[in-house]
Structure 1
Amino acid sequence: MAQSEQLAVRPGPGTASVDSVVRRMLAYGSAWPAGDGLGVFNRVYLAVTQEIDRHIDEGRFTDRRAAVTLDVLFARRYLAAVDAAAEGLRPPACWRPLFQYRRHPGVWPLQFALAGINAHIGHDLPLAVVDTCRALGCAPPDLEREFERVGDILVLLEERIREDVMPGPDLLQIADPLTHLVGSWSLDRARDGAWSAARLLWGLRDLPDLAAEFTERLDAGVGLVSRCLLTPWR
């Protein structure tokens, strides 16, 4: 079984809430020092989760139950990685670069944010879709509207994220390779890849050995991209 599956937490619908996830992330933000790379991503992800919660409360999701379940199970993949690292266990490969470089002085905040988003969308999101299908007794096509709505919120927030943690213009002129690096990563492509991976994993649900192998390779590939995104520049 792939390690990312071993660390998975799959509560049924109603066993957790978006509010409980928000409280966990707020606690992380209070505990981690300023400049902590994981804290940079946590701050970004907290804003995304609160925005999704607001959309749920406003009735912007077609299926509220599916939206809440997907949002919570998605977030718990990240929380499980943090818990694993805190307990001295190895988190999924996609998260390891961020844990390893979180205090590196040569990595810009934007790099930390994008590496976390890459790990969470590229690896955690497809697994969360499958988790949600199992919890609700449905299939990925039944979640497509909720998936797209979450993706639309992420796209809207990505521009704000880049503005908040992007180095100033003078630094960007000095660090042109950094501009090239962060510009080569696309949230839209990551989201499309996550949906394809979720559909493939669902198709492999009766073939556990193949599903585990695919999950492990997905984890490693996403981790490689995260490591590239965290290339030190100073």
Structure 2
Amino acid sequence: MKASTIDEVITQLDDIINVSKQTKSPLGYFAALYQKVTIKVKEGIAQNFFEDGTRMEKLDVIFANRYLTAYYDYQQGKAVTQSWQKAFALASRYWPIVLQHLLMGMNAHINLDLGIAAAEVSKGHHISDLKDDFSKINQVLSSLVHEVQNDLATIWPTFRWLLKITGKTDQLVTDFSMQLARDGAWKFAQSLVLLPDSEWRDAIKVRDKNIAAKAHLVSNPGLLPNIFLGMVRLSERGSVGQKIAQMQ
């Protein structure tokens, strides 16, 4: 069933998280992160952080339903977008680290789904009216960066040291998610909303193909990076269930 409220989104994410813990599925990593973000958006709506709280909840639900539908369709062997196919397929492999699972989910959901959701919620309105609240989503994500990095550092202690050494403490997650969300997803939403409904399907397919191609950079970055990531994977602490719990 599709969620109709932000509370239903949180509940369905909780179900995915619990099932993932029981089945020891890495799919729970992204679900746990996504639930954390959704709760933060809900708090923002309650605190009048957004210009239009009702519209923001509608956007959040449309956005979330794209992930929820993809997740359940994949579980039932149904076709999903190429972007989500690549993200979900990673769960059957041992070697990807937690961060790779998160980035693959973010790639599909932010770079593809967010623009579609923004265009859908703007039907019948000027999409420019959404711009300020769309940008505020980035602020919500930004407020969680430090917490997420601490979660990852608990799973892989060397992570915090590595970020300090490379000077990318606030960039690794934010550059991949918020920058692309603000630029790529917004531009796609602007172009999509101008098209007649009959042309949306083809436009989304083209976008999906391009985003799926980017996923390869995360799942298979090359020989030397893969060797390094293999070492990270072997040093990650905890079972899949414990790592999911750490991300919550």
Query: What TM-score results when the alignment is normalised by the length of structure 2?
Result: 0.77
Corresponding residue of 2:116: 127
Q: What is the alpha-carbon distance in structure 2 between the residues aligned to residue 102 and residue 118 of structure 1? A: 15
Q: What is the alpha-carbon distance in structure 1 between the residues aligned to residue 138 and residue 172 of structure 2? A: 19
Corresponding residue of 1:160: 147
**Structure with the largest fraction of helix:** 2
Q: Deviations over 1:12-63 (max 9, x none)?
A: xxx8110000000001111113752211000000000000001111111111
Change (3 A) 1:160 1:171: closer
Corresponding residue of 1:93: 82
- Where in structure 1 are there 5+ consecutive unaligned residues? 1-8, 174-178
Corresponding residue of 1:188: 178
Q: What is the alpha-carbon distance in structure 2 between the residues aligned to residue 79 and residue 57 of structure 1? A: 23
Q: What is the alpha-carbon distance in structure 1 between the residues aligned to residue 146 and residue 208 of structure 2? A: 26
Q: Is it true that 1:57 corresponds to 2:40 in the alignment?
A: no
Q: Deviations over 1:188-209 (max 9, x none)?
A: 3311100000001112236x33
Cα RMSD (Å): 2.6
Q: Is it true that 1:17 corresponds to 2:5 in the alignment?
A: yes
What letter matches 2:148 in structure 1? I
Q: What is the alpha-carbon distance in structure 1 between the residues aligned to residue 80 and residue 114 of structure 2? A: 16
* Matched-pair contact (CA < 8 Å) for 2:17–2:31: yes
What letter matches 2:119 in structure 1? V
Query: What TM-score results when the alignment is normalised by the length of structure 1?
Result: 0.81
The alignment covers a number of residue pairs equal to 212
Q: Deviations over 1:68-101 (max 9, x none)?
A: 1111111111001012112210211111112111
Segment of structure 1 superposing worse, 144-153 or 120-129: 144-153
3-state DSSP class of the match of 1:204? coil
Corresponding residue of 1:33: 21
3-state DSSP class of the match of 1:107? coil
3-state DSSP class of the match of 1:33? helix
Change (3 A) 1:47 1:105: same
What letter matches 2:77 in structure 1? G
Q: What is the alpha-carbon distance in structure 2 between the residues aligned to residue 17 and residue 139 of structure 1? A: 23
Q: What is the alpha-carbon distance in structure 2 between the residues aligned to residue 133 and residue 31 of structure 1? A: 34
Q: Is it true that 1:200 corresponds to 2:188 in the alignment?
A: no
Q: Percent identity?
A: 24
Once the two structures are TM-superposed, the CA of residue 158 in structure 1 deviates from its matched residue by: 3.0
Q: What is the alpha-carbon distance in structure 1 between the residues aligned to residue 160 and residue 149 of structure 2? A: 14
What letter matches 1:161 in structure 2? V
